[in-house]
Structure 1
Amino acid sequence: MPPPRFDSTLGIVTDKASVIIEIGTAYTKCGYAAELTPRAIVPSHFFDAEGSLKTLKLFDKDMSPDQRSLVLTRFLRQMYYKHLLAVPKERRVVVVESVLTPSEHRDLIARALFENLDVPSILFAPSHLLACFPFGTQNALVIDVGHKESVVIPVFEGVAMLNSWEASPVGTSAVHSKLRELLLAKASFDTAGQGVVPAKGFAEVFTDELLEDICVRFCFVTNLERGRLIQAAAQDTTNSVKTAPPPPDVRLPLNNEKTLLIPGLVREAAAEVLFEHDEDSKSLPQLVLDSILRCPLDLRRPLCEHLLVVGGGSLMTGFLARLKAELLDLLATKYQEKLPLTSVKFFQYAQSPIEVYASWIGGSLFGALEILPYRSISRDDWLKTKRVPDWTAKIAQSTGVDEGSDERER
């Protein structure tokens, strides 16, 4: 007799395991509760094969709310029937989201799932808190290096400390932009007919997909000493700063006619944007230490020794070693008086890319609990107000102000 399905014992209201969805700026992860990895990791865009024949991004500000809702509904329907092979109305949903997600996006997701796909309930869970679950800890300083921004939120005793969060618009998108700039300035193409020509005349070749491929395959984060020299050389107009010999150049065949020649300097300089100290925006190490400074005194040392890095940007070769070196250098110089600490420690699983989907795994664990129905928003609750309640709803309830009234808006 064959063994029962893994989700046959997880029935609460239905006999089906919950669906876990994490919609990121660049990629969306989907799968089932109690599973160790997502069933699929797909780009967060939808190809309109029936209409405009264009690739439409989710939550595009250039589209109207109805258009955004339509694109999101088509994207989710394709995800259910192509990747999950499931009927939406039969399974509860856990949506893993950042605490900084706009309320408009949450309402669009709820509208698409409740009104168009008829799911029974939805739980919106904070990604930074869920990222702690796979590591078995309730205390961590969660550093999410995302596509558009990096967000640092302390978690202590299972509670996200929202008064101590820090964010900066530095992420993998900034690395890709810097990589494109360096390639146009320093790279070249080996063409079949014209020989070696500068890359400046082929700007249209450097698509987002090609930049991501180059970044993943060839770029890395260099050490602290070389990184400081690269930053100094980039700001020096007299060429007086001498740098160490760069790593080897690489050749990337694009087609039968062109081969991209990538200098070694480009490979190690692209990621420096994450660690540059700028007056307009903080570097990633500054975000970490400033977030710790916002915490109470007795929590600073434990958090500094419980650093949890997640997000696709954290998988770059040499990232954690460089981040640790930058933090120790700042603790010994600029932050010496404000933060008298001498050590930092990271959570890490050896030989595992769990950082990419750590928050999703946390959602998978939470989605298998019996408490899920009591923490979720039912379809009937949504149809009454057509709004996803958040922390402002608690304030309105305690003050007696209606959520939709003009007084609350003021």
Structure 2
Amino acid sequence: MAESTLAPVGAGSDPTRGESPAEMSHQKAPQSPGPASNGSGSRKQASEGAEKYKDYCAVVIDTGTGYTKSGLAGDEKPHSVVPSCVGVPKIRTKDSPLYYIGKSIPSQSTEVSMNMVMTHGVVTDWDALEMLWHHIFYTELDVCPKELAVLVTDAPLSPTTNREKMAELLFENFEVPAMLVAHQSLLSVYSYGRTNGLVIGSGYGTSYTVPVHDGYILPHATYRLDVAGSALTHYLAKLMGECGNPFQEEELELVCAIKEKCCYIPKDFQAELTGDEKKYLMDYTLPDKQVISIGSERFRCPEALFNPSVLGFPEVGIHVHAMNSIRKCKPERQAELLANVLLAGGTTMLRGFSERVRKELLQMEAVGKGQVGILASPHRSFSAWLGGSIVASLNAFQNVWISRPSYNERGPFVVHRHCF
């Protein structure tokens, strides 16, 4: 049975993010594997599907380990960003809600049990994910999922069952008319207006390096590192405790704010470590007006991305993974990948990240002595969502959606025919 065609509202352009959606549509559009049948009946059904949904916009949901970004296709930034966790009351009363999400979570965390939806990019609590998406549809976005196509994302190297269960959840529980699961790293490439590049991503729970060629992910050359924003926050709390500034577990949100404000990545870690302490000593004012001094922990903390052994991880740094990804690709593609390194994820926003990656790649055995090009979009903290917003609003994309009739005919495994 053919896929019905959805026609979301078109997107506007944004000069700060590269090509506009209109310009991008003249490049290589996402390709569909094609419907099962190409007869006249199938074309008629697709036409009717386009007519039925032409006045609706698709919903784009990027659920990460730490946060979930959501909004409508064509928007230039997410309408909503909420933590990817669900608070369940420890003591139930007749007046207490079944669960809390986002701003509704009580300030006293001791009142609720916090259930994380994901661990290192893999869904570990499907009930919590359903609650989270329900909240996003009906509260954050105020839309009815039965009337809208929904694009959701999947992390690199996640189990294939992740995509199948996402399809089952959306079709069976939310009764969406059409949906699609898209790889976060590929959407990040599209957010740059490109179809080729090496994605270096680092968010809340996971870092990864993913080469993309002509709009296709190369899984054999993809690497994952479970050192990212959350691990850095915990490490900074440990370092600050050793320096006389202890923080409790419930204060990790404050530690994260300190990390984002104060931490940086030097080009040369050893030189920075042996340099003048006055150069990197910094005062930080806590919410209670107490002023604390932060020293070498400012750069020792994010160094874990390049030297995971400080956290007890027997792995190479993210820069080594990046070079290994390039070397695993065909020789004729390596120079292009090296020249098009695309950063994605909130942790790559740390000051000095792009400069350090460039320096490390140059120091390693350069592939064909090619140029190293680092692209760091100001929107890279939500690049996967933005890429989804762009492609879901393109007319060329509309034959890629998985329709409800197709799901009913083939079941959850249909996502593997259309996942891109």
Q: TM-score, normalised by structure 2?
A: 0.75
Question: Residues 306 and 319 of structure 2 are in contact (CA less than 8 Å); yes or no, is this contact kept in structure 1?
Answer: yes
Question: Residues 254 and 260 of structure 1 are in contact (CA less than 8 Å); yes or no, is this contact kept in structure 2?
Answer: no
Matches within 5 A, 1:1-400: 13-14=52-53, 15-48=55-88, 50-51=97-98, 53-59=112-118, 68-188=125-245, 199=246, 203-204=247-248, 207-224=251-268, 227-229=269-271, 242-245=274-277, 246-255=279-288, 259=290, 261-276=292-307, 278=309, 280-330=314-364, 335=365, 339-341=367-369, 343-349=371-377, 353-384=378-409, 386-389=411-414, 391=416
Q: CA RMSD in A?
A: 2.9
Q: Cα distance 1:111–1:393, how it changes in 2: closer, same or farther (>3 A)?
A: closer
Q: Deviations for 1:74-108, whole angstroms, at most 9, x for unmatched residues?
A: 21111112221111111101112224222343333
Q: Percent same amino acid at aligned positions?
A: 24
Question: Residues 143 and 153 of structure 1 are in contact (CA less than 8 Å); yes or no, is this contact kept in structure 2?
Answer: yes
Unpaired runs of 5+ in structure 2?
Answer: 1-6, 12-49, 89-95, 100-111
Displacement of 1:370 in angstroms is: 3.4
Give me the whole-angstrom Cα distance separating, in 2, the residues matched to 1:149 and 1:69: 19
Question: Residues 156 and 184 of structure 2 are in contact (CA less than 8 Å); yes or no, is this contact kept in structure 1?
Answer: yes
Report the AA paired with residue 220 of structure 1.
Y
Instruction: Please tell me whether Structure 1 or Structure 2 has the larger radius of gyration of its CA atoms.
Output: 1
Question: Residues 86 and 114 of structure 2 are in contact (CA less than 8 Å); yes or no, is this contact kept in structure 1?
Answer: yes
Displacement of 1:125 in angstroms is: 1.3
Question: Residues 196 and 214 of structure 2 are in contact (CA less than 8 Å); yes or no, is this contact kept in structure 1?
Answer: yes
Unpaired runs of 5+ in structure 1?
Answer: 1-5, 189-198, 234-241, 395-410
Q: Cα distance 1:32–1:54, how it changes in 2: closer, same or farther (>3 A)?
A: same
Report the AA paired with residue 346 of structure 1.
I
Question: Residues 66 and 204 of structure 2 are in contact (CA less than 8 Å); yes or no, is this contact kept in structure 1?
Answer: yes
Question: Residues 25 and 148 of structure 1 are in contact (CA less than 8 Å); yes or no, is this contact kept in structure 2?
Answer: yes
Report the AA paired with residue 266 of structure 1.
E
Displacement of 1:392 in angstroms is: 9.2
Which secondary structure state, in structure 1, belongs to the residue aligned with residue 204 of structure 2?
coil
Which secondary structure state, in structure 2, belongs to the residue aligned with residue 323 of structure 1?
helix
Q: Cα distance 1:9–1:387, how it changes in 2: closer, same or farther (>3 A)?
A: closer
Displacement of 1:50 in angstroms is: 2.2
Higher normalized contact order (CA 8 Å, seq sep 6+, divided by chain length): 2
Q: Tell me how many residue pairs correspond in the alignment.
A: 349
Give me the whole-angstrom Cα distance separating, in 2, the residues matched to 1:22 and 1:148: 14
Question: Residues 187 and 261 of structure 1 are in contact (CA less than 8 Å); yes or no, is this contact kept in structure 2?
Answer: no
